[in-house]
Amino acid sequence: MLLHAALSGLVFGFYFTLVGLGLNLVFGVMRIVNLAHGDFLMLGAYSAFWLFGLYHLHPLLSAACVLVVFTLVGLPLYYLVVPRLLAARDSEMLSLILFFGLQQMIEAVTSIAFGTTERSIPGRVLGSGPVRLLGQALPTSWVFSAGVSLAAVALVYVYLYQTRLGMLTRAVMVSREEAVATGIDLHRVCAIAFGLGLGLAGIAGVFAPFMLGSVTPAIGPEINIAAFAVIVVGTLGNPLGTVLGGIVYGVSLMLMQTYLSSWANLLPNLLLIAVLLVRPTGLLGRRVRRA
Amino acid sequence: MPDELLEARGLDAGYGRVKVLWGAGLTVREGESVVLLGANGAGKTTLLKVLLGLLPAWSGSVALAGADITRLRTDHRVRRGMAYMSELAVFPGLTIDENLRIGGQFAEPRALRARMEELYGIFPDLAHRRRALAGSLSGGQRKMLGVAKALSGSPRLLVMDEPSAGLSPLFVSEVIEVLGRFRGGGLALLVAEQNVTFLDLADRVYTLDGGRVGFEGTVEALHADRALERAYFGLK
C-alpha cells in the first residue's frame, strides 16, 4: 500500500508541478500573483470537455490547441493589465486585488454560460487498462497526464535555458532594473511569460478531468491553493523548483489519502504553514531562486 | 554632422514630487571621455537614468548623434549605440557567457562572437570561467564582467555609474586601464564618479551639485579653480 501511495503520489506530483508551473513563471518574471490562474485552468478543462464532446478531439490535441490559444489570449491581456501593475509601487498587492476580480468574473461568466454541473471526460480516452509500475497498477489516464506534465516542464526548461528569449527571461527574473538598463524589452519578455503561464494553466486544465475526477466553474480557488502550496514548497519565483514542490505535494497528498483520508483536504494549508514557518524561502531556497 | 554624440539640455527630473535635477545639461563628443563629478545625493545617478531613458525627463531634451531621443525607450537607445553600466553591473544568477551575450543582444551573432573573444582576451579571469555564475565572482571580478558586458555590444557611448564603488585601488586602476584601451577605438565615455582617480581618463569634466551642473571644462581648468579643487580633491 505504501509503494502504491508513493508511486501514485509521484504521478500526481508531476501533474501538480504543471498546475503550479505557470503561476510560478508569472510570479518569477513579473513579481505579480495571478489569482485567476486556477480559473484559466478551469477554462482549459472546459475547452477540452467541449472539444471532446463536439469533435471527439483527443486531449493531447486539445492541449496543443489550448496552449496556443491561451498563450495568444495572454499577450493582449498582459498589455491591458500588467504594465500598469508593474509601474505601481505595490504591484504584488495590487495584482492580488486585480486578479481576484478577474477570477470572480471568469467564474461567474462560465457559470452563466455553461451551468454549474460537474463535467468530466472518460478516462478510457487516454487508454484502457492499468499501467503496471514496480508491480503496482496505476490508471493509464494518470500516467498519461503525468507524462504530458513532464513534457511541459521539459519544454519550459528548454525555453528558459536553451533559447535567447529564455535567457532574457531569466535576466528579468534576476533583476528587472538591470534588465531594463541593459536594453532588454521588458514588456515583450513579460508578455510572452504571461501568455506561457496561461498556456501552461490551460494544459493542466485539459488533464484536470482525469486527475481530479471532474471540474466545475468554482474549482479555481481550490486549484489556486494547491498551486500556491506547490510553488511555496518548491521556492516561489523559481519555475523549475516547482518540480520539487509538485512531487512533495503529490506524494504527501497520496499518503494522506491512503492513511488519513479524512484529513487529506487540509494538506495544502498544512504544507503552506509548515514551509512558511520552517523554511520560508522554499525547499530550494535562495540558492537557485535567482534564475 | 554635429561633433556632439550626446547632448542633454535643461533637464528637470525627479521621483514622485521630489525634483532632483534642475536644468541639468551636458555634452559628450564622439570618442570623448567625460567625467561627471559629484558628491552623494548630487543627482549623478538620476541624470544618467534620464539620459538612458530609465527615468522620464520632466522637461528638457536629450539627443544622440543629432536625433532627439528624449521620449525613446531604453532598449531603443541601446540599439542606437548607448550602453549603461549600473552599480549592480551584472546578472548574478546568469553565467559569465550569458551576461556578455545579453550585453551584446542587439549585435549581429558573428560580430558578437568575435567581440566576446576579444573581451575574453582582455579579461582572462573571465575566459577561464565562462560557464560560472556571475554571482560566484569576487566584487572586483564582477565589476570587470560589468565592463565587459557593457562593451560586448560594441557601443558608441558607454555610460557608467560609479564604476569604482566597492573596488580596491588596484581594481580601479585596472578598470581605467581597460577603458583607456577602448577609447582608442572610438568609444565615448560618460563616467559619473566621486573618485577623482577617474579624472586620469577625462577629456572634460562636469560637476554636479544639488541637481545643477556647476563647473564644465578640462581637468586642468578644474585644478586651476581653488574652490573646486578643495571640494573634490580635499586640498587646503
Whether B74 has its CB under 8 Å from any CB of chain A: the answer is yes
Does residue A285 form part of some domain?
no
Predicted local distance difference test score (pLDDT) of residue B39: 87
CB A196 within 8 A of CB A74: yes
- The closest of A104, A100, A81, A94 to A190, measured between CA atoms, is A81
> What residues of B are in contact with residue A174 (Cβ under 8 Å)?
91-94
Whether A165 has its CB under 8 Å from any CB of chain B: the answer is no
Does residue A289 form part of some domain?
no
Question: pLDDT digit string (tens) for A224-256?
Answer: 999 998 998 887 778 778 898 899 889 988 888
Question: Could you give the CA distance from residue A290 to residue A238 in angstroms, rounded to a whole number?
Answer: 7
Does residue A14 form part of some domain?
yes
Does residue A286 form part of some domain?
no
Supply the mean pLDDT for chain A.
90
Between the alpha carbon of residue B71 and those of residues A127, B8, B57, the distances in Å are 58, 13, 8
Question: pLDDT digit string (tens) for B156-174?
Answer: 999 999 988 878 888 888 8
Does residue A156 form part of some domain?
yes
Residue A291 has pLDDT above 50, yes or no: no
- DSSP summary character for residue A119: B
Predicted local distance difference test score (pLDDT) of residue A271: 82
Question: Could you give the CA distance from residue B191 to residue B185 in angstroms, rounded to a whole number?
Answer: 17
Q: How far is CA B87 from the centre of its chain?
A: 10
Domain span at residue A264? Answer: 2-278
Collect all residues with Cβ–Cβ distance below 8 Å to A90 and sequence separation of at least 6: none
CATH number of the CATH domain containing A128: 1.10.3470
Cell numbers for A2:
505504501
Question: How many distinct structural domains can be found in chain A?
Answer: 1
- The closest of B141, B146, B148, B181 to B163, measured between CA atoms, is B146
Whether B97 has its CB under 8 Å from any CB of chain A: the answer is no
Does residue A20 form part of some domain?
yes
Question: pLDDT digit string (tens) for A121-167?
Answer: 988 888 888 888 888 888 999 999 999 999 999 999 999 999 999 99
- DSSP summary character for residue A197: H
Does residue A149 form part of some domain?
yes
Confidence (pTM): 0.89
Does residue A210 form part of some domain?
yes
CB A130 within 8 A of CB A140: yes
**Chain A residue with Cα closest to B48:** A181
**Chain B residue with Cα closest to A288:** B93
Predicted local distance difference test score (pLDDT) of residue A279: 79
Q: Are the Cβ atoms of B98 and A168 closer than 8 angstroms?
A: no
Q: What is the mean pLDDT of each run of 10 residues along chain B (236 residues)?
A: 83 94 94 92 94 96 95 95 90 96 94 95 92 92 93 94 85 86 87 87 92 89 75 61
Collect all residues with Cβ–Cβ distance below 8 Å to A28 and sequence separation of at least 6: A173, A236, A237, A238, A239
Q: Are the Cβ atoms of A290 and B54 closer than 8 angstroms?
A: no
- The closest of B231, B211, B229 to B220, measured between CA atoms, is B229
* Angle at the Cα of B55 from the Cα atoms of B50 and B58, rounded to 5 degrees: 80
ipTM: 0.89
Collect all residues with Cβ–Cβ distance below 8 Å to B56 and sequence separation of at least 6: B13, B50
Residue A286 has pLDDT above 60, yes or no: no
Question: pLDDT digit string (tens) for A20-50?
Answer: 999 999 999 998 899 999 999 999 999 999 9
